Amino acid sequence: MALPTHQTLLLLATLCTGCLCADPVIEGVVQLPKPPVRRPIPPRYENVPADLIASPAPPVAVVFLEGEFPPASPAGTNAVLAQHRLQFEQALLPVRVGTTVEFPNHDDLYHNVFSFSKPRRFDLGRYARGDAPPPQVFDRPGVVRLNCEIHPHMRATLLVLETPFFTRTDTNGAYRLTGLPAGRYILKAWLDEKDVRERPVELGPDGALRVDFPAP
């Protein structure tokens, strides 16, 4: 019987190493609700050309792995949630506890960002394009509802999570979580406080899982 060549052994070693080092992956689809009805623009801005006012962002979900994980770095990370064309650029933004978020204004008129939510209460006041309102650190987990005092139709949600393993679906509901640790966890799909779907999952040292979240 012919012995395997050096090239064959090298290829097998590479494939085996890839199998041993591959991290678990979870992917699937979350069934999303219908897009929201466009909220009316305040009368004072009826003279703004319609093409300068963005439509509300289509619904998405946040999918995350819930379990016991090391705490976030004290330095945290940074994120940006801009205001543009009389809308928040993202209606739902997931961040990890300790994240610092900036709220730039990209419109040629004044905006404001405030929240009365328990995890983080703040009010940036009114500011113009080019101003630099103080960034906000979100150091408590939970749901933070954001509003603009000048434009009541503008709303967004920050979902502050303790887990480092999360992602936002695309507008079709598709998601993919990579680099996951092996173990037993709860996988959750968050659409809003009244619609949180979950499934128990067990991840081996490698391989992939398919987990879909149909509407309840």
pTM: 0.82
Indicate the domain borders of the chain: 23-210
**CATH number for region 23-210:** 2.60.40.420
**Beta-sheet strand order (sheet of 195-203):** 166-168, 62-66, 183-192, 195-203
Task: Compute the distance between CA of residue 133 and CA of residue 114 in angstroms, rounded to an integer.
Answer: 12
Here the tokens at position 185 are 């966890």
Counting every residue written for the chain, the total comes to: 216
Q: Which of 50-54, 80-84, 101-105, 120-124 has the lowest mean pLDDT?
A: 50-54
**Beta-sheet strand order (sheet of 78-80):** 78-80, 99-102, 136-138
| Rg, Å, the chain Cα set | 22
Report the 10 Å Cβ neighbour count for 143: 15
**156-211 pLDDT, tens per residue?**
999 999 999 999 999 999 999 999 999 999 999 999 999 999 999 999 887 889 99
How many angstroms from the chain centroid is the CA of residue 123? 22
Task: Compute the distance between CA of residue 162 and CA of residue 99 in angstroms, rounded to an integer.
Answer: 11
